[in-house]
Copies of this chain bind each other. A is one copy, B any other.
Amino acid sequence: MSTETDHAADVAVLGCGLMGSALASALAEAGYRVIVWNRTAAKADALRGERIDVARTVAEAASAAPLLLASVGTYDDVHDMLDGIDTLGGHTLVNFTTGTPAQATRTLEWAVSRRLAYLDAAILAYPQHIGTADGLILASGPSRDWKAHSQILGVLGNVRHISEHVDAANILDASMVGAFHISALTALIESVTFAIDRGVSATELRAVTEHVLTLFIPVAAEIVHNIATNTHDTDQATLEVYSAATRSFVDTVSSDGHSARMVTAASAMLEEGERAGLGSSGISALQRVCTPRPAASI
Question: Chain B residues near A101 (CB, 8 Å)?
Answer: 198, 252
* Interface range on chain A (Cβ under 8 Å from partner): 35 or more
B interface footprint on A264-295 (CB within 8 Å = 1, 0 otherwise): 11101110000000000001101101111100
Question: Chain B residues near A204 (CB, 8 Å)?
Answer: 138, 160, 162-163, 168, 172
Question: Chain B residues near A197 (CB, 8 Å)?
Answer: 291-293
Q: How far is the CA of A219 from the CA of B193 in the complex (A)?
A: 15
Interface residues of A in 91-140 (CB under 8 A from B): 98, 100-102, 124-126, 134, 136, 138
CB distance from A295 to the nearest CB of B (A): 12
Question: Chain B residues near A262 (CB, 8 Å)?
Answer: 179, 183, 262, 265-266, 269
Knowing A194-B290, A209-B176, A269-B262, say if A171 contacts B200 (CB, 8 Å): yes
A219 contacts B174, CB within 8 Å? no
B interface footprint on A233-244 (CB within 8 Å = 1, 0 otherwise): 000100000100
Which chain B residue shows the least CB distance to A211? Answer: B136
Q: How far is the CA of A198 from the CA of B162 in the complex (A)?
A: 13
Q: How far is the CA of A189 from the CA of B263 in the complex (A)?
A: 14
B interface footprint on A174-206 (CB within 8 Å = 1, 0 otherwise): 111111111111111111111111111110111
| Residue among A175, A189, A214 with max Cβ neighbours from chain B (10 Å) | A175
Contact of A205 (CB < 8 Å), options: B172, B200, B248: B172
Which chain B residue shows the least CB distance to A177? Answer: B212
Complex copy number for this chain: 2
Question: Chain B residues near A259 (CB, 8 Å)?
Answer: 269, 289-291
Q: How far is the CA of A213 from the CA of B177 in the complex (A)?
A: 10
B187 contacts A183, CB within 8 Å? yes
Q: How far is the CA of A223 from the CA of B253 in the complex (A)?
A: 18
Q: How far is the CA of A125 from the CA of B102 in the complex (A)?
A: 41
Contact of A213 (CB < 8 Å), options: B134, B165, B183, B217: B217
Q: Is A85 an interface residue (CB 8 A)?
A: no
Knowing A138-B208, A199-B165, say if A249 contacts B179 (CB, 8 Å): yes
Q: 7 A-B contacts, Cβ less than 8 Å apart?
A: A98-B245, A174-B249, A179-B250, A179-B263, A180-B187, A186-B266, A259-B269
A100-B251, A179-B250, A185-B216 given. 7 additional CB < 8 A pairs?
A163-B201, A171-B195, A175-B195, A177-B208, A189-B223, A262-B262, A265-B265
